[in-house]
C-alpha cells in the first residue's frame, strides 16, 4: 500500500511539473526539427487551428544532382500575435519523423537567417513574410518532394493555440549532372557570420571548376561588386569580401565555370557579430589579482578617511623605560666586593685560607703572603 502511494505521488508530481501551455509565444529558436516535433510544435490537431495565411513556394521543377537550387517562400495574409513571430518549416516529408530535407538527400547550404536549419523563426512585416533556402540537390535521381509548413500565434487567441498552415508537395525532378558541370563540393556550407571589422577571406570548395567569380553587395542594395578570388589549392578558393560593422549583412553570389558550362548560383548572405572574448587563464588570474589589490587599497583608504581627526596625545614612556633599566642594573663592583669578602670566614686549622659558606669552597686569603705571613 505504501509503495502504491509513493508511485502515485511521483506520477502526480510529474504531471504537475509538466507545462500546461500549448503554445510558445516567444518561439523556440532556429533548429532542425521534424514536422510534429513530438507534439511540442503543435502537430497535434488538439493543440492547433488552421491558419488563414497564404503560402506560395517558388522553385525550379528540375535540378541537376549535387548542384545548388533555391526555394523561395512567400507568406501573406498573416494574422499573428503582437510580436509578429512566424515559425517556418522546410520539409522533405510530413511523416512526423525524418522530415528534414537532409533526411531525403538534400543539403541545406543556407537558411533564411544565415544558418543551416530547416526550421527558422522570422518576424512578419505588414502581415507578410518572404524567405528563401539555398539547397544542394540530392545525388539520387528521380522525383523529390519539398513541403513548407508554418505556425504562428494570433492577437485573438484566448486558448493559446498555434495556427498551422501547410502546402502540398512541390515536386522536383533530379536529373543527372552533365559531365564536368561546375558546382559546390558536397558538404560545403556558407559561413553564418563574421566578427565585426573582420576582413579575413572565406573558403569555397568546388568540383569541376576551372574558374570562380564572386559578386557581393550589402543587404538591401541592388548594385553588386566583384570580389577578389584566389585559388589556394585544387578546387579550393579564397574569397576576399569587405569587412562589415554592426548588424550589417553582406550577400554574395558564386559563379563557377568549366568549359562551356557556367553555373550562377543563388545569392548567399553572411551576418556580422560582435567580437568574441579572447583571453587566457593567466590573464584572467592577473586581472583577478589586480581587482583584489584595488579593493584592498580602497579599504585602506577608507580606514584613513574615517580615522579620528584633531590633536593627538603623544604618549611618552621614556621615564618608565629608564626606571626599568635602572632597576635591572647590577650593583656597583665595590659593593659586590665588600659583600663577598665580608662573608668569608677564617679557619685556624687552615691558615691562609678563607671559607665561603655560600659556595662551599676555600678561597686564598689575600692578606696572607705566599710564605704564610700576614
The verdict on 33 and 105 lying in the same domain is yes
The verdict on 168 and 83 lying in the same domain is yes
Domain extent, residue 357, equals 342-374
pLDDT above 50 (res 145): yes
One-character DSSP codes across 118-179: SEEEEE-BTTBEEEEEEEEPPSS-EEEEEEEEEEE--SS-TT--EEEEE-PPEEEEEEPPPT
Q: What was the pLDDT predicted at 16?
A: 46
pLDDT above 70 (res 39): no
The verdict on 99 and 216 lying in the same domain is no
Structure-model confidence comparison of residues 328 and 291, the more confident one: 291
Q: What is the pLDDT of residues 278-298, one digit of tens each?
A: 666 777 777 778 778 888 777
The verdict on 252 and 270 lying in the same domain is yes
Q: What is the pLDDT of residues 69-106, one digit of tens each?
A: 999 999 998 888 778 889 999 999 988 788 899 999 99
The verdict on 110 and 211 lying in the same domain is no
The verdict on 242 and 349 lying in the same domain is no
Q: What was the pLDDT predicted at 19?
A: 38
Give the span between the Cα atoms of 71 and 167, in whole angstroms.
13
Average pLDDT over residues 184-194: 89
pLDDT above 50 (res 17): no
Say if CB 345 and CB 354 are below 8 A apart: yes
The verdict on 41 and 170 lying in the same domain is yes
Q: What was the pLDDT predicted at 370?
A: 60
Q: What was the pLDDT predicted at 246?
A: 85
The verdict on 56 and 153 lying in the same domain is yes
Mean pLDDT of the chain: 81
Q: What was the pLDDT predicted at 22?
A: 46
Q: What was the pLDDT predicted at 201?
A: 93
The verdict on 127 and 62 lying in the same domain is yes
Average pLDDT over residues 125-133: 90
> Does any domain span residue 240?
yes
One-character DSSP codes across 279-307: --HHHHHHHHHHHHHHHHHHHHHHHHHTS
> Does any domain span residue 14?
no
Average pLDDT over residues 156-176: 85
The verdict on 153 and 169 lying in the same domain is yes
Band (pLDDT 50/70/90 cuts) for residue 241 is very high
Q: What was the pLDDT predicted at 183?
A: 93
> Does any domain span residue 361?
yes
Residue 131 C-alpha cell reads as: 524567405
Q: Which of 52-56, 182-186, 216-220, 329-333 shows the lowest per-residue confidence on average (mean pLDDT)? A: 329-333
The verdict on 83 and 123 lying in the same domain is yes
Q: Based on the structure, what is the number of domains in the chain?
A: 3
Task: Please give the share of the chain, as a percent, with pLDDT higher than 90.
Answer: 40
Closest to 204 in 3D by CA, of 220, 219, 183, 180: 183
Strand partners, 355: 345, 362
Q: What is the CATH number of the domain that holds 149?
A: 2.60.40.10
> Does any domain span residue 289?
no
Give the span between the Cα atoms of 208 and 302, in whole angstroms.
74
Give the span between the Cα atoms of 161 and 157, in whole angstroms.
7
* Domain final residue, candidates 230, 257, 275: 275
Q: What was the pLDDT predicted at 315?
A: 60
- Write out the H or E segment, with its range, that includes residue 324: helix 318-328
* Parallel, antiparallel or unpaired: strands 202-207 and 48-50: unpaired
Chain position carrying cell 507534439: 39
pLDDT above 90 (res 367): no
Give the span between the Cα atoms of 22 and 42, in whole angstroms.
7
> Does any domain span residue 303?
no
Chain position carrying cell 526550421: 119
pLDDT above 50 (res 38): no
Query: Strand, coil or helix: what is 87?
Result: strand
**Measured distance between the N- and C-terminal CA atoms of the chain, rounded to whole angstroms:** 121
Residue 328 C-alpha cell reads as: 635591572
Residue 40 CB-density burial (10 A; 0-12 exposed, 13-18 middle, 19+ buried)? middle
> Does any domain span residue 281?
no
Give the span between the Cα atoms of 231 and 239, in whole angstroms.
9
> Does any domain span residue 6?
no
Q: What was the pLDDT predicted at 322?
A: 61
Say if CB 48 and CB 163 are below 8 A apart: yes
> Does any domain span residue 87?
yes
Residue 7 C-alpha cell reads as: 508511485
* Domain final residue, candidates 154, 177, 200: 177
Q: What is the pLDDT of residues 40-68, one digit of tens each?
A: 455 555 667 888 899 999 999 999 999 99
* Domain final residue, candidates 156, 177, 198: 177
Q: What was the pLDDT predicted at 24?
A: 56
The verdict on 128 and 247 lying in the same domain is no
Say if CB 187 and CB 107 are below 8 A apart: yes
Give the span between the Cα atoms of 174 and 139, in whole angstroms.
8
Amino acid at each position: 500500500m505504501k509503495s502504491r502511494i509513493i508511485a502515485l505521488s511521483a506520477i502526480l508530481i510529474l504531471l504537475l511539473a509538466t507545462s500546461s501551455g500549448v503554445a510558445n509565444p516567444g518561439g523556440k529558436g532556429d533548429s532542425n526539427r521534424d514536422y510534429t516535433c513530438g507534439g511540442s510544435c503543435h502537430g497535434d490537431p488538439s493543440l492547433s487551428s488552421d491558419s488563414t495565411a497564404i503560402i506560395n513556394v517558388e522553385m525550379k521543377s528540375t535540378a541537376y544532382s549535387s548542384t545548388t537550387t533555391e526555394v523561395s517562400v512567400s507568406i501573406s495574409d498573416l494574422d499573428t500575435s503582437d510580436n509578429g513571430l512566424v515559425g517556418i518549416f522546410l520539409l522533405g516529408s510530413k511523416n512526423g519523423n525524418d522530415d528534414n530535407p537532409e533526411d531525403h538527400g538534400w543539403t541545406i547550404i543556407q537558411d533564411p537567417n544565415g544558418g543551416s536549419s530547416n526550421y527558422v523563426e522570422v518576424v512578419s512585416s505588414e502581415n507578410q513574410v518572404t524567405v528563401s533556402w539555398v539547397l544542394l540537390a540530392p545525388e539520387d535521381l528521380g522525383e523529390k518532394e519539398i513541403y513548407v509548413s508554418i505556425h504562428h500565434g494570433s492577437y485573438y487567441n484566448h486558448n493559446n493555440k498555434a495556427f498551422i498552415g501547410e502546402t502540398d508537395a512541390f515536386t522536383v525532378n533530379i536529373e543527372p549532372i552533365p559531365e564536368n558541370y561546375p558546382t559546390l563540393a558536397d558538404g560545403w556550407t556558407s559561413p553564418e557570420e563574421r566578427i565585426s571589422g573582420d576582413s579575413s577571406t572565406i573558403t569555397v570548395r568546388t568540383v569541376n571548376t576551372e574558374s570562380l567569380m564572386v559578386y557581393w553587395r550589402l543587404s538591401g542594395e541592388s548594385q553588386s561588386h566583384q570580389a577578389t578570388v584566389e585559388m589556394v589549392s585544387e578546387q579550393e578558393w579564397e574569397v576576399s569580401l569587405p569587412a562589415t560593422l554592426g548588424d550589417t549583412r553582406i550577400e554574395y553570389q558564386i559563379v563557377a565555370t568549366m568549359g562551356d558550362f557556367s553555373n550562377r548560383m543563388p545569392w548567399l548572405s553572411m551576418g556580422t557579430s560582435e567580437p568574441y572574448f579572447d583571453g587566457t587563464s593567466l590573464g584572467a588570474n592577473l586581472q583577478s589579482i589586480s581587482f583584489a589589490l584595488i579593493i584592498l587599497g580602497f579599504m585602506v583608504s577608507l580606514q584613513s578617511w574615517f580615522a579620528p581627526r584633531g590633536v593627538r596625545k603623544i604618549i611618552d614612556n621614556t621615564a618608565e623605560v629608564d626606571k626599568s633599566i635602572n632597576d635591572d642594573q647590577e650593583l656597583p663592583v665595590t659593593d659586590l666586593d665588600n659583600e663577598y669578602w665580608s662573608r668569608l670566614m677564617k679557619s685556624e686549622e687552615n691558615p691562609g685560607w678563607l671559607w665561603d659558606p655560600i659556595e662551599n669552597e676555600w678561597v686564598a686569603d689575600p692578606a696572607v703572603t705566599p710564605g704564610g705571613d700576614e
